[in-house]
Amino acid sequence: MIPLVIAEEKLATELSLAIERHALSLVFQPKIEIATGRLTGVEALARWDHPALGAIGPSTFVSLAERFGSIDALTDWVIAAALRQWIDWREQGVETNLAFNISALTLRDVHFPDHLDRMCRIQGVPLDRITLEVTEGATQHAVRLLDTLTRFRIKGIGVSLDDFGTGYSSLLQLRQLPYSELKIDQCFVLDALRSRESRLIIQAMVGLAHGLGLTATAEGIEDAETLALLASLGCDHGQGFFIAHPMRGTELVPWMIDRSAERAEHQTARAA
């Protein structure tokens, strides 16, 4: 049997090569305004289809990239590919917000805000269309993080606290760091219909977000009842399989056209 470390090293080398050769791909998951159903943005999610092992989940390969030194290359690849896709959408008349997941390691680099700024300018994507999703686990080194996140906000870039409620010292971070969005972790949303505790926690999180001047976004909405519940709890934005699964960039505009036709039909039926 190959020792685990060697197997991991081999996979990490393959990942580096895959990044270099543009063998990764991106999918995009829509976010909507819950009250109106309007598209508010998309989140870019990386995919790696390994030639022998099949699809490897991002949680696995992002951690590999972090530990074996290819996270900057991965982040750059994701950003460049997503920005190109954004320009393509704009040419088709869609100018939506674009969110990226950013690793803790990338956030430790004080030059990253200027680097991202440059990448957006080269491609011609306005900075106020960009949101960075940061996880609570990512938020160590509070002083440096405060500096980095403030630099993003000054540039007009949004910063979202992803998977909220599952990490460490989240309340302290909410008080100290300049977030613009709080993303309620899917573990609360997935059982919100069954669990009174989850509903209470979501309600408290929405209140907290609004009290601090942030937008509340729920992830993991898998059915119409959960969407209606979140609307009744005052949650601003939502994302999940009920709204849309992550999709290829080329699928977004057709999805929007289908969805607006469906919503128009629904409204006509309700008015009749």
Residues forming the site for ligand C2E (CB under 6 A): 29, 45-46, 57-59, 62, 78, 101-103, 133, 162-163, 186, 219-222, 239-241, 246
Question: According to the binding rule CB under 5 A, does residue 239 interact with Mg ion?
Answer: no
Identify which of residues 158 and 240 has a Cβ nearer to ligand C2E in the complex.
240
Q: Running DSSP on this structure, what letter comes out for residue 177?
A: S
181 binds Mg ion (CB under 5 A): no
Interface pick for Mg ion out of 40, 70, 85, 101 (rule CB under 5 A): 101
Enter the tokens of residue 164.
């909220």
Distance in angstroms (rounded) separating the CA atoms of residues 42 and 36: 16
Residue 29 contacts which entry, Mg ion, ligand C2E, none (Cβ below 5-8 A, type-dependent): ligand C2E
Q: How far is the CB of 68 from ligand C2E (least distance, A)?
A: 14
User: How many other CB atoms are found less than 10 A from the CB of residue 55?
Assistant: 9
Q: Quick one: what does residue 62 bind among ligand C2E, Mg ion, none, with the CB cut-off 5 to 8 Å set by partner type? A: ligand C2E
**Residue 156, C-beta contacts closer than 8 angstroms, at least 6 positions apart:** 126, 127, 128
Which one, 74 or 256, has the nearer CB to ligand C2E? 74
Using DSSP, state whether 27 is helix, strand or coil. Answer: strand
Contact 219, 189 (CB under 8 A): yes
Q: Which stretch binds Mg ion (CB under 5 A): 62-70, 98-106, 121-129, 262-270?
A: 98-106
DSSP SS3 for 20? helix
Instruction: Name the binder of 240 from ligand C2E, Mg ion, none, CB < 5-8 A by kind.
Output: ligand C2E
When the beta carbons of 57 and 126 are compared against ligand C2E, the nearer one is 57
Binding mask 186-225 for Mg ion (x = CB under 5 A): ---------------------------------x------
Q: Which residue blocks in the chain are alpha helix, DSSP H?
A: 4-20, 58-67, 71-91, 104-107, 112-123, 142-154, 170-176, 186-190, 196-211, 224-232, 252-271
Select from Mg ion, ligand C2E, none the partner in contact with residue 57, using the beta carbon and a kind-dependent cut-off of 5 to 8 Å. Answer: ligand C2E
Least distance between ligand C2E and beta carbon 72 (Å): 11
Q: Which is nearer to ligand C2E, 45 or 146 (CB)?
A: 45
Name the nearest CA neighbour of 105 among 65, 150, 77.
Answer: 65
69: left (phi over 0), alpha (psi -120 to 50) or beta: left
Does residue number 29 form part of the binding site for Mg ion (CB under 5 A)?
no
Question: What is the smallest separation between the CB atom of 169 and Mg ion, expressed in angstroms?
Answer: 18
Residue 166 — φ and ψ, nearest 5°?
Answer: -115, -10
Residue closer to Mg ion by CB (options 136, 162) is 162
Rounded to the nearest angstrom, the gap between the alpha carbon of residue 62 and the centroid of all alpha carbons in its chain is 14
